[in-house]
């Protein structure tokens, strides 16, 4: 896939950390507001299509548990995991999403979007085996969670804001 041949330095960092389950934190300070993510530069911008490829096709490292753990990134494009089955935990905290993530019909082990800013979320028919955490998550548009969604673990969503109201 051509996207893995032209990775940015930020994407290379994530690609290397994923098989070992290591965290990548792009924040300059812990209290940074991800709503300002559109001002962040290339050093912390990641294409959603690269994350998709990583989650679906990245090799595992022997003796390690893969996980996608990113904080403080601007995620461009649409994170399209429609109908995907992902065994790795996904934590995209303090991130700013340019596009509405499409998780329709996806089967995930764990999803954490805490303190991230999203233009919406398409998660109808989503299945999460473990924790779905959206604590202090800000949604600027529609959140579609239903249509057979199967949340087998714990759901955390306190403090989140949806448009003018709360989640």
pLDDT at 156 over 60: no
User: Per the confidence metrics, is the pTM higher than 0.85?
Assistant: yes
User: Token match 């999460």: residue?
Assistant: 128
Cα-Cα-Cα-Cα torsion 23, 27, 29, 30, nearest 10 degrees, comes to: -50
The pair phi, psi for residue 24, each rounded to 5°, is: -125, 115
How would you class 29 by CB atoms within 10 Å of its CB: exposed for 0-12, middle for 13-18, buried for 19 or more? exposed
Q: What angle do CA 15, 133, 100 make, to 5 degrees?
A: 65
Which token pair is 85?
Answer: 């089955």
Buried b (16+ CB within 10 A) or exposed e, 73-94: bbbbebbbbeebebebbbbbbb
Whole-angstrom CA distances from 130 to 88, 98, 110, 144, 166 are: 11, 26, 5, 19, 23
149 within 8 A of 127, measured Cβ to Cβ: yes
Alpha-carbon span 55 to 35, nearest angstrom: 25
pLDDT-based confidence at residue 166 (cuts at 50, 70, 90) = very low
- List, for residues 45-97, the tens digit of each pLDDT value: 999 999 999 999 988 889 999 999 999 999 999 999 999 999 999 999 999 99
């Amino acid at each position: 896939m051509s996207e893995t041949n032209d990775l940015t330095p930020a994407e290379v960092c994530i690609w290397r950390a994923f098989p070992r389950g290591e965290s990548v934190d792009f924040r300059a300070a812990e209290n940074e507001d991800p709503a300002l993510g559109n001002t962040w530069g290339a050093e912390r911008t990641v294409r959603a299509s690269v994350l998709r490829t990583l989650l679906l096709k990245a090799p595992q490292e022997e003796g390690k548990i893969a996980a996608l753990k990113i904080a403080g990134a601007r995620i461009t494009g649409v994170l399209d995991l429609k109908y995907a089955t992902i065994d790795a935990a996904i934590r995209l905290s303090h991130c700013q999403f340019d596009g509405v993530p499409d998780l329709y019909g996806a089967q995930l082990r764990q999803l954490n979007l805490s303190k991230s800013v999203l233009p919406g979320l398409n998660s109808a028919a989503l299945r999460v085996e473990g924790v779905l955490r959206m604590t202090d998550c800000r949604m600027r548009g529609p959140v579609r969670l239903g249509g057979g969604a199967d949340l087998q673990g714990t759901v955390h969503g306190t403090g989140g804001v949806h448009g003018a109201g709360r989640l």
